[in-house]
Amino acid sequence: MTTQSQGLHTHVLDTLGLEISSGQCPPGSVLRTDELAQRFDVSRTVIREVIRVLESMHLVESRRRVGVTVRPTETWNVYDPQVIRWRLAGSDRPRQLRSLTVLRSAIEPVAAGLAARHATAEQCAELTERALGMVATSRGQQLEGYLEHDIAFHRIVLNASGNEMFARLGDVVAEVLAGRTHHQVMFEDPDPAAVTLHVRLAEAVREGDPEAAERITKEIAVGALHELDVLAP
Amino acid sequence: MTTQSQGLHTHVLDTLGLEISSGQCPPGSVLRTDELAQRFDVSRTVIREVIRVLESMHLVESRRRVGVTVRPTETWNVYDPQVIRWRLAGSDRPRQLRSLTVLRSAIEPVAAGLAARHATAEQCAELTERALGMVATSRGQQLEGYLEHDIAFHRIVLNASGNEMFARLGDVVAEVLAGRTHHQVMFEDPDPAAVTLHVRLAEAVREGDPEAAERITKEIAVGALHELDVLAP
DNA sequence: TGTGACACATACGTCGTACTTTTTTGTTCC
DNA sequence: GGAACAAAAAAGTACGACGTATGTGTCACA
């Protein structure tokens, strides 16, 4: 899943990022560049580049004479898709999934309302197409196909909102949906009610009805939150 | 304003980041590490570290034999506070300010509702204190003092929501408020209606009234958007 | 015994160079 | 004209040296 073998840099970054965000290196712990270079059998050059990236994500802090210190969680750039991926792969996935879903429940209704105003004909068409795709894959253990349509659907809504900040949340939503599908044991097919709501949302957007779009999206979000409550601690 | 002189790295990163996000190096343009090293009179090591950070923000892409290419805006990590700062300092500040304000208008009402449920006594107290501070600095050209209270106020609300993703948006809100105050010519004192709404929001949170908190915050957001419409193109 | 200044050790910061790897481009040969 | 091959260009990696800040411990002095 995580990118790899396209450079030493990437591998080291991924490994360290995962270790830190999974709490394996708790905040306050100190890493030394020389040790890391030895451990990964790469030059200090590579390690330093990785550290700089980690530093830009506020995962670590590098100080002279003391080393590279892991920073407390509150300072992390939790909107960085890479960080999100690491955390979803790590130990506190449930908490992460929940806070991300709450975020979605705040953003997506507003985005859907805007989409109903601004969506182009093409976007409406693709939205409908994806909704139908969700219907078609909603039964019979076609979870992967369903997931693909689901992700595409929400991406379109976010893009159609015309707001850059919303649009760029598409990756986050994709991570959440993928994480939900892959990491939660899903015995059953997707909730039929959710499928219906997506179809109705596509209609509302197509008909240019912002209030309906917002309301329906809120319902979808409520459903997602409820699902988390049922399936997670 | 931007951090500086705490290492060559920081200076180069800041300069390049600003140049890219301000459109001075348009998407598609190519940078060469050797040239940059010459230009900034630093070693290639420093340049490479900077490039790696820029790459992690998806501002550039580095490929062998071709160089470092500036990526299209759609791929940038626009939630990175650093990127936000660069863009707010650059040329398309109005657009950026608007999309960020729309984001706030989606997030903060929900966050305020959650805060009304979850805020601790301390948080309520500090919130009230900040609201009073806003009142105290709302007249007589005390914009800097007002700004400080305003930022602190919204930070508390976001933190009190208990949701990590909301809480981490505090920096973004701070940048927006600061950008609004500093870059927009503000002849007058803050809108008295906004001040009142903040006081009432503090009350609603203290009294544990989520609906009121959400409604009042929506009003604040509408006011902020309206203000942008009036003062910006 | 307590306190302050000074020296030292340490780990990151920066540099320069040499070498490797990938990818584009251009050339040659069929 | 097209395919195989050779050369060049630029990033990727490595290594070793020195610079620099900073925590720590020591020593002298009160």
Residue B84 counted as domain residue: no
Query: What percent of chain A clears pLDDT 70, i.e. is strictly above it?
Result: 95
Is B165's CB within 8 Å of A105's CB? no
Looking at the predicted structure, is the pLDDT value of residue A12 above 50? Answer: yes
Residue B3 counted as domain residue: no
pLDDT of residue A188: 75
A43, A75, A107: which is the final residue of a domain? A75
Question: Residue B38: CB partners within 8 Å, gap ≥ 6?
Answer: none
Q: Which nucleotides of C are covered by protein (CB under 7 A)?
A: 9-17, 21-24
Q: Do A82 and A15 meet the contact criterion of CB atoms below 8 Å apart?
A: no
Closest chain B residue to the Cα of A82, Cα to Cα: B56
- The CA distances from residue A126 to A114, A159, B122, in Å, are 17, 12, 49
Residue A20 counted as domain residue: yes
B160 and B191 fall within a common domain: yes
pLDDT tens-digit map of A118-164: 999 999 999 999 999 999 999 988 999 999 999 999 999 999 999 99
Distance CA(B167)–CA(B124), nearest Å, equals: 16
B16, B47, B75: which is the final residue of a domain? B75
Question: A65 CA to C10 C1', in Å?
Answer: 6
A179 and A137 fall within a common domain: yes
Looking at the predicted structure, is the pLDDT value of residue A168 above 90? Answer: yes
* Pairwise pLDDT comparison (A213 vs B229), residue with the higher score: A213
pLDDT of residue B4: 39
Name the minimum distance, in Å, from the CA of B97 to any CA of chain A.
11
pLDDT of residue B186: 60
Distance CA(A142)–CA(A6), nearest Å, equals: 32
Q: Is A5 left (phi over 0), alpha (psi -120 to 50) or beta?
A: left
A205 and A169 fall within a common domain: yes
β-strands A67-70, B60-63 pairing:
unpaired
Looking at the predicted structure, is the pLDDT value of residue A21 above 50? Answer: yes
The full DSSP string for chain A is: ----SS-HHHHHHHHHHHHHHTTSS-TT-EE-HHHHHHHHT--HHHHHHHHHHHHHTTSEEEETTTEEEEPPGGGS-TT-HHHHHHHHHSTTHHHHHHHHHHHHHHHHHHHHHHHHHH--HHHHHHHHHHHHHHHHTSSSS-HHHHHHHHHHHHHHHHHHT--HHHHTTHHHHHHHHHHHHHHS---SPPPHHHHHHHHHHHHHHHTT-HHHHHHHHHHHHHHHHHHHHHH--
Distance CA(B98)–CA(A165), nearest Å, equals: 10
pLDDT tens sequence for chain B (233 residues): 333 357 899 999 999 999 999 999 999 999 999 999 999 999 999 999 999 999 999 999 999 999 999 999 999 999 999 999 999 998 888 899 999 999 999 999 999 999 999 999 999 999 999 999 999 999 988 999 999 999 999 999 999 999 999 999 999 999 999 988 887 756 678 899 999 999 999 999 999 999 999 999 999 999 999 988 887 66
**What are φ and ψ of residue A31, in 5° steps?**
-110, 150
Residue B81 counted as domain residue: no
Helix residue ranges, H only, chain B: 8-21, 33-40, 44-56, 81-89, 93-118, 121-136, 143-160, 164-167, 170-183, 192-206, 210-231
Q: Which residue is nearest to nucleotide D10 (CA to C1')?
A: B65
Number of domains chain A is built from: 2
Is A165's CB within 8 Å of B78's CB? yes
B96 and B67 fall within a common domain: no
Distance CA(B110)–CA(B113), nearest Å, equals: 5
Distance CA(B59)–CA(B172), nearest Å, equals: 19
Residue A175 counted as domain residue: yes
* Pairwise pLDDT comparison (A189 vs A210), residue with the higher score: A210
DSSP state for residue B7 in the 8-state scheme: -
Question: B66 CA to D1 C1', in Å?
Answer: 28
Helix (H) or strand (E) holding B168: none
pLDDT tens-digit map of A31-82: 999 999 999 999 999 999 999 999 999 999 999 999 999 999 999 999 999 9
Is B80's CB within 8 Å of A77's CB? yes
Smallest CA–C1' separation from B66, nucleotide: D10
CATH number at residue A52: 1.10.10.10
Asked whether residue B5, judged by its CB, lies under 7 Å from any atom of the DNA or RNA strand C, the reply is no
Domain range enclosing A127: 92-231
- What token pair was written down for B180? 């609004």
Is A103's CB within 8 Å of B56's CB? no
Instruction: Tell the burial category of B219 from Cβ atoms under 10 Å away from its Cβ (0-12, 13-18, 19+).
Output: middle
A134 and A202 fall within a common domain: yes
AA letter at A102: V
Instruction: Tell the burial category of A227 from Cβ atoms under 10 Å away from its Cβ (0-12, 13-18, 19+).
Output: middle
Residue B119 counted as domain residue: yes
A206 and A121 fall within a common domain: yes
A132 and A220 fall within a common domain: yes
A30 and A117 fall within a common domain: no
**What are φ and ψ of residue B70, in 5° steps?**
-75, 130
pLDDT of residue B129: 98
Looking at the predicted structure, is the pLDDT value of residue A187 above 70? Answer: no
Question: Which of B77, B82, B176, B214 has the highest number of chain A CBs within 10 A, making it the mutation to test binding with A?
Answer: B77
B111 and B186 fall within a common domain: yes
Three-state DSSP class for B1? coil
B154 and B64 fall within a common domain: no
B178 and B99 fall within a common domain: yes
A22 and A97 fall within a common domain: no
Nearest to B173 by CA among B157, B194, B188, B160: B157
pLDDT tens-digit map of B32-52: 999 999 999 999 999 999 999
Is B165's CB within 8 Å of A99's CB? yes
Question: Which of B54, B56, B88, B96 has the highest number of chain A CBs within 10 A, making it the mutation to test binding with A?
Answer: B56
Residue B2 counted as domain residue: no
Footprint of strand D on the protein (CB under 7 A): A 7-9, 41-46, 49, 63-66; B 31-34, 44-45, 48, 51, 62-68
Chain A residues closer than 8 Å to B83 by CB: none
Residue A84 counted as domain residue: no
CATH number at residue B169: 1.20.120.530
Looking at the predicted structure, is the pLDDT value of residue A196 above 70? Answer: yes
**What are φ and ψ of residue B8, in 5° steps?**
-60, -45
Question: Which of A10, A48, A49 has the highest number of chain B CBs within 10 A, making it the mutation to test binding with B?
Answer: A49
